[in-house]
């Protein structure tokens, strides 16, 4: 079975493929599916935005679509940047967003933060599934590590003693917000397919 990922982000694509391939699902990027949709993310929650993106990709491709909406929520900033993580400060790159967040936190000692992910799957028959995952940590004072993407270089994981950009893909998937949401989605999809077989 083929799913289209409502993204061309290579990091997200790799993480989705690693977990969903276990169900025999082939995950295509939008480019590979021959579509290019970027719906306006008007939702006020990660779940709403994930559904907006998955619905648009499904309608454009005719395939089941999977989308992730995720971001970082910093306690000292009242949960910001939250759903605006990918558009934080209208910055053009991950590096600029990381720099801006560190600047906004430069006089703050309380550095607790969490990554939040919601994953949505939308099927052509109208069925929709949504799962969530969180990962708690704290912000560093400077980027560290070459792996990962987004805010990973400044997200310190006490369980590893390293940032998410300093751990392996396997280590990251074992604790990350998207890894947790994806494993929950894998379970939901397993049940969904079993139910369909019984009908």
Nearest to 134 by CA among 150, 157, 111, 154: 157
∠ CA 88-89-95, nearest 5°, is 70
Q: Looking at 69, 94, 127, 152, which residue is catalytic?
A: 69
Q: How far apart are CA 59 and CA 153, in angstroms?
A: 35
Catalytic-residue membership of 68: no
Q: Calculate helix-pair angle for 177-198, 10-20, nearest 10 degrees.
A: 50
Rg (the chain; Cα; Å): 17
Nearest-angstrom CA–CA distance, 29 and 37: 11
With contact defined as beta carbons under 8 Å apart, do 33 and 4 qualify?
Answer: yes
* Long-range pairs for 136-141: beta carbons < 8 A, 24 or more residues apart: 136/112, 137/112, 137/113, 137/164, 138/111, 138/112, 138/113, 139/74, 139/101, 139/102, 139/105, 139/111, 139/113, 140/111, 141/102
Q: Which residues are catalytic?
A: 69
């Amino acid at each position: 079975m083929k799913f289209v990922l409502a993204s061309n982000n290579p990091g997200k694509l790799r993480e989705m493929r690693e977990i969903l391939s276990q169900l025999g699902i082939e995950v295509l990027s939008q480019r590979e599916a021959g579509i290019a949709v970027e719906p306006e993310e008007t939702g006020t929650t990660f779940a709403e935005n994930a559904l907006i993106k998955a619905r648009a990709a499904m309608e454009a491709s005719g395939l089941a679509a999977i989308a992730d909406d995720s971001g970082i929520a910093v306690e000292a900033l009242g949960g910001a940047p939250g759903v605006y993580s990918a558009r934080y400060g209208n910055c053009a790159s991950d590096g600029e967003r990381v720099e801006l967040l560190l600047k906004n936190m430069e006089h703050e000692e309380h550095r607790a933060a969490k990554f939040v992910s919601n994953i949505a799957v939308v099927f052509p028959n109208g069925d929709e599934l949504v799962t969530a995952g969180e990962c708690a940590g704290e912000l560093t004072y400077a980027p560290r590590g070459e792996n990962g993407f987004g805010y990973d270089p400044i997200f310190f994981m006490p369980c590893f003693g390293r940032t998410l950009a300093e751990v392996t893909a396997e280590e990251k998937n074992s604790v990350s917000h998207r890894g947790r949401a994806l494993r929950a989605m894998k379970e939901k999809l397993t049940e969904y397919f079993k139910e369909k077989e019984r009908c």
